[in-house]
Amino acid sequence: MRIFCCKLHLVLLLLLSTSQCIFSDECSSVHTFFVPDEMAALQAILQAWNQTPDMSTNLAGWNSSQLTPCFHSTADWKGVTCYRQQDRGDGNCTAYISGLSLTDASIVGTLPEQIGKISYLFDLTLTNNLGLSGPLPSGLSYLGSLAILDLHNCSFNGTIDDELFYISDIVEVDLSANQFTGQLPNFGGAIYLQTLNISHNQLWGPSPPFYNGTTDYGLLNLTSLTKVDFSGNKLLGPPPNFSASSKLQFVNLSSNLFMNQTYLPYFNNASTLTILDLSNNNFIGSLPDFSLFPVNLQELNLDNNQFNGTLNIDNILNLERKMNRNSLIYTGHLQTLSMRFNNISGVNFSISDIENVISIIKLQNNPYCLHQQSSIIGQNCYCKQTCVVPNNDVRRAIIIATTISGTILVLVIAIGSWLLWRNKQKHYVLLHQAQEKFAEFDIQPTIFSYSELRAATKDFHPDMKLGQGSYGVVYKGIFPNKNEVAVKQLFNESQQSIDEFLNEIVLITGVKHRNLVKLKGCCITTSKKRLLVYEYVENNDLAEALFGKRKHMLNWPVRLNICLGVARGLFYLHEIAQPRIIHRDIKASNILLDKGLQARIADFGLALLFPEDQTHITTMHIAGTMGYLAPEYATRGQLTEKVDVYSFGVLVLEVMSGRKNIDPNLPPHDIYLLDIAWRLARRKGNSIMNLVDCTLELNYEEMKEALRVVKIALLCLQQEPDNRPTMARVVAMLQGEAEIMEIVLDDNLEIESMNKAYENTLLSSKITFSSTQCFEEPNVAMLKRSSSSSQIYDFAPKCQPFEIESFNK
């Protein structure tokens, strides 16, 4: 039951991220009543924060005279989210406060005890408010529904009490960068906790499991932990006992006073652990047994301790971590070992270890690096990260070869040896460059080897091909552990530099939303092969389902949910992501459908970061796909988020009609879907409903929903960008939470002639477009793809006009 409740809370939180208010359909037309205790708690919080500067901005909407924090006709309380349901005997609805999220709001004051009266609070996020101080109120422990508690970078003080972790369903706690003191609390009650961050406080004393020699502070109950950060405190003794946390991925215990490396095996059960930071502690003695660390560890930081002795490279490259010597970049094994500022006096290595570098080892400021060694090769590799074998070694090989096979063989071996050496050094440089870039942005994408991906895709066999886009081909990959991924192999013709490629990875990894495809990792090779590894999405792309043989899967509820999912994903990119992102290539083939037919936006190859201080960007480099581009972008290069809104409108019309936006198989007057849509929109009544796919079986209520969605699509397709809604408004309209704006009909607008002029502009301007398949020969490329469809869409003979009573909301 607790597991179910926890999952339910998380699902509800995901919903909350897309809308200020959540309510059932039955609540849309009745009175809503708030719980008196919850309203009293909000008023107490307002009173406690009344010294906050510029309250009209930082706490916009907060007012002692306004008794409705949500669902207000003019302004809701900033940061307050609610949901409501029809649970009253009189047919009206009760509203519950479900979230309080205020970041960088300059809040001044304390968190009052009354916070515990908000019984259904799921998310409490008050970050980057340095004026928010005082102890944590005991009332927090009464929030039995709380799933996320994020109070990082404030000025809270006092101790962290055990009662806080009596909230059994909590999954994320971040109390970092405050002023908490005292010893660690007992975490054992929060059995579903996944993220625990109490770093950069003033916590002190013996850490678990050493305190009083018996207790483990409840850590052995935390079997779901994935991320732990205790860094920047004054914790003593051996490191904490995480032996029961088999799902750990990230552990940072740096900048404490931990000692006694005997307890390092406590990490060995975490087979998923990839990053472990034990730097700046008091570990003393001989070097640790590296075989005790998790076999999938990728980064291990032991800087600034007191380890001594001779480092044996073969002990690091143990049997679990050995790999194909022909591959440099790999996954699941140690990539970086940093042991700077220790007492390491020597390193045992072989020439092959230098030639075939598979781990970056950093030993700066150890005696080994501070004193000249007999072998400068090792010092360069492990103290300067420049692993180069001198050319005289190659020359010796050439001399030996000369005595055997003559001058020609010498030249072949010399050139081959030099090329092999240069290729390995490039591999090393690329790996180091990638890791530095990822560390700069605090992300940890997995770096796969080319041989791994080649094996997973059966050498990129055509049978494993999932599809082909503007920049590359996508294959299905299956690893030996049966995990499935989608591998996108970018075209070699791409002029994208390694830095641009890494920036794209940083961009994609940083965006996380349920309607965006998740990037799992990448592969970089010296032959300019660029590969991205995504989560595998079972039902491929929307274009295949909508225009192919699986169209029957897309009934009305599924199509409506797809439109809403894409809208939510774009809303996240435009409004929530930091910095904001314009996708620039929203189209049916870039919308993937998962097992439950939920929409996932994919292919960020053309995505562009949008500066916060600019209203638009003008660019000569037009990118996108024919038929989906907004007119102001295609003709003038003017780029705003309204370009994505326009593409979304085209996509929605395709979803509603079941046909492509350009179909040359049709009669001339029906080739362009937008031309049809605007012609129907100008007619009286609800003629626009003739645009809806005739294969859909709609009841009366669904007809009204379909009409509403088509009108929203037309709003997104307004000629002037300012007349198009934002994606936030689109989401609200699709959910029925906002009225549909007025559609501006330009009687002088001829879509067909505009499209033809648009194509001629593209062809005559000789602009170089990013999406070569879509633009270099737009007439030919689009005709070829469209002609493969056997569907002939003719509105008059196939569809009977929908008869719907006046519905103009």
| Residues classed as catalytic | 585
From residue 507, alpha-carbon distances to 33, 211, 321, 500, 603 in Å are: 43, 43, 30, 10, 12
Helices (H), 448-595: 450-456, 498-510, 542-547, 556-571
Token digits for 431?
A: 């790996």
Query: Is 488 annotated as a binding-site member?
Result: yes
β-partners of residue 582 are 608
Separation between Cα atoms, residue 617 and residue 637, nearest integer Å: 8
Beta-carbon count within 10 A of 388 CB: 16
Residue 553: strand, helix, or coil: helix
Residue 787: strand, helix, or coil: helix
Query: What is the residue whose two structure tokens read 């940890």?
Result: 444
Closest of 96, 88, 93, 94 to residue 30, by C-alpha:
93
Separation between Cα atoms, residue 156 and residue 421, nearest integer Å: 56
Separation between Cα atoms, residue 61 and residue 77, nearest integer Å: 4
**Overall residue count recorded for the chain in this entry:** 809
> Which residues in 746-767 are b (16+ Cβ under 10 Å) and which e?
eeeeebbebbeebbeebeeeee
Separation between Cα atoms, residue 625 and residue 618, nearest integer Å: 18
- Residue 638 CA, chain-centre distance (Å), reads 27
Separation between Cα atoms, residue 784 and residue 89, nearest integer Å: 61
Say if residue 238 is preceded by a cis peptide, omega within 30 of 0. Answer: no
Say if residue 209 is preceded by a cis peptide, omega within 30 of 0. Answer: yes
Separation between Cα atoms, residue 235 and residue 380, nearest integer Å: 36
In 580-718, the DSSP E strands lie at 580-582, 591-593, 599-601, 608-610, 617-618, 638-639
Separation between Cα atoms, residue 93 and residue 731, nearest integer Å: 23
- Residue 34 CA, chain-centre distance (Å), reads 35
β-strand pairing of 123-125 with 148-150: parallel
> Which residues in 777-802 are b (16+ Cβ under 10 Å) and which e?
ebeebbeebbeeeeeebeeeeeeeeb
- Sign of the C-alpha dihedral, residues 361, 364, 368, 369? positive
Helix axes 556-571, 727-734, angle to 10 degrees: 150
Q: Report CA Rg, the chain.
A: 30
Q: What letter would DSSP give residue 767?
A: P
Strand order in the sheet with 155-158: 109-110, 132-134, 155-158, 179-182, 202-206, 234-237, 257-258
Separation between Cα atoms, residue 97 and residue 112, nearest integer Å: 16
Helix axes 673-682, 642-657, angle to 10 degrees: 80
Q: Which amino acid is at 557?
A: P
Separation between Cα atoms, residue 319 and residue 600, nearest integer Å: 40
From residue 64, alpha-carbon distances to 46, 54, 74, 77, 386 in Å are: 8, 16, 15, 11, 65
β-partners of residue 547 are none
Binding residues for ATP: 488
